[in-house]
Amino acid sequence: MLIVREGKKRVRGIVGQARTLLLVARGGETKEIIKEAWRRLYSNGASYILRRDLFEPLKPPIAKLAITVRPVRDSDMSRILKERPRRYSVLRANIPTCYIAESPDGQLCYMQWLIAPAEQMRFRSYFCGELKNLRDDEQLLEFAYTFEKFRGQGVMAAAMAKIAEQNISKGARWALTFVREDNLASLKGCKNAGFRPYMYRTEQWRLFHLKQSFKMLPERSLYPFEAKPAELPAEMKSLTGDVSAIGRATSSESGGQQVLQ
């Protein structure tokens, strides 16, 4: 019975990936996927792990339009997949909780997952690389996406700040998120949403095989756009550093995940 269940699971996975590829091709994201594939063939990079203390007061960032944050609905799927088809597989997995920010007239402005510790294992297979093992008072925000029509209007910061606070009543104290160091727009949006640099992850892709290392940043570290190069911690300049206690080990290597993550 176990073999049969595993076989059915694999078939569903293959069908899901095929459906995602078809949706990506129809949605015009093919070039983006090819670019990501080339990156995973050979590249060096780095990401920040940002953190927000949800107990610290935050002046709510205000978008240029009023937004309402709510969990995703089945009726949102066609609109999401029309613009962001690569999220088909994780949406199909129904991992709690994907949140939507919508405009007063019901248009989708922004989407992002808020992952509680209990859901982290289910989420791992959709995330590229190693994840910090979440404590009971931590949560992860991932797969942020601002719909094209609403970019440049401060929607990300306003929505992300609200989404991060959804689980405070359930014991959440810290919110974490990963952002590539060259994505200045997202880094600035996270800063406005109350997030600060917490850890630094270096990444090496070789033939779809990922090698990573993590390092804790000094307390009160600045974003790269807040500091002059001479003021940045050494690990941010050199893209090197020892791995700090994170996840299940002090360093990790993982095989290439699905390109369509």
Contact call for residues 38 and 30 (beta carbons, < 8 A):
no
Identify the structural domains of the chain with CATH numbers, from first to last.
2-255 (3.40.630.30)
pLDDT at 64: 97
Q: What is the pLDDT, as a whole number, of residue 40? A: 86
pLDDT for 16: 43
**117, 136 Cβ separation under 8 angstroms:** yes
Q: Could you tell me the CA-to-CA distances from 250 to 39, 214, 215, 245 in Å, in that order?
A: 25, 8, 10, 5
pTM of the full predicted structure?
A: 0.78
- Can you give the pLDDT at residue 154? 97
pLDDT at 128: 76
Residue 125 pLDDT: 84
Output the CA torsion 225→190→156→168 (10° steps).
Answer: -170
Question: β-strands 42-53, 174-180: how paired?
Answer: antiparallel
Non-local CB neighbours of 235 within 8 Å, separated by 6+ positions: 200, 215, 217, 241
Task: Compute CA 106 distance to the chain's CA centroid, rounded to the nearest angstrom.
Answer: 24
What is the structure's pLDDT at 233?
64
pLDDT tens for the chain, residues 1 to 261: 545 454 444 444 444 444 444 545 555 567 777 887 888 899 999 999 999 999 999 999 999 999 999 999 999 999 999 999 989 999 999 999 999 999 999 999 999 999 999 999 999 888 877 777 899 999 999 999 999 999 999 999 999 999 999 999 999 999 999 999 999 999 999 999 999 999 999 999 999 898 999 999 999 999 989 977 666 666 665 433 333 333 333 333 333 333 333
> pLDDT at position 249, please?
31
| Alpha-carbon span 70 to 97, nearest angstrom | 10
Continuous H helices in 144-214? 155-164, 184-192
